[in-house]
Homo-oligomer: A and B are copies of this chain.
Amino acid sequence: MPRILDLQMKIRSLRRFVKTEGRIPTYREMLALFEYRSKNAVHGLVKKLVHFGYVRKSRGKLAATSRLTGVLKLLGAVQAGFPSPAEEELADTINLDEFLVERPDTTYLLTVSGDSMIEAGIHPGDLVLVEKGRTPKNRDIVVAQVDDEWTIKYFIKDSEGILLQPANRKYESIRPRRFLTIGGVVRAVIRKL
């Protein structure tokens, strides 16, 4: 019987449990899950899992790490292609939320309608991750209110003031007269295919 593969299998069923139940199983539940007959066997396994960083202990209690909950294996560049199954299991797994969202309380997900930013690679139907309440820097992409309508534009500061510039030759830049409401700064673009 293989040993390392065996551990991987156990990690998989652990992952499945955590995903469906929303929590780490108790030692008793792991008995059934890993087909042990003694809680001490579980104790040994947990020791290993802690050592490899799949779970950790927080005040005596078991806790999931991002290595366990993170579902995405982060690989290198496209050119490198895909790794062999052996390398595969060594890949770091990450959590997209943690990776993309800095301030959960003020970050929102909006659907893009319109093609005003299409030359910046933001298409209609794309999702944009918008962080509210931050003062935009020059050339940030922002969600702004112009004439009672919300749009996505480049935020540009020049000698005359502030300019909202689309990334589409069909549209013209807007120079807000008096009021300019900035909804937030676009931190990421997500397209589901």
Query: Do B110 and A150 have beta carbons less than 8 Å apart?
Result: no
> Number of copies of this chain in the oligomer?
2
* 30 A–B contacts from the bound complex (CB under 8 Å): A22-B56, A22-B65, A23-B63, A70-B97, A71-B97, A71-B101, A72-B109, A73-B108, A73-B109, A75-B110, A76-B110, A77-B110, A78-B110, A78-B114, A78-B143, A78-B151, A80-B150, A81-B145, A81-B150, A82-B183, A95-B97, A96-B96, A100-B192, A141-B193, A186-B193, A187-B192, A188-B192, A188-B193, A189-B189, A189-B193
Query: Do B107 and A94 have beta carbons less than 8 Å apart?
Result: no
Band of interface residues on A: 35 or more
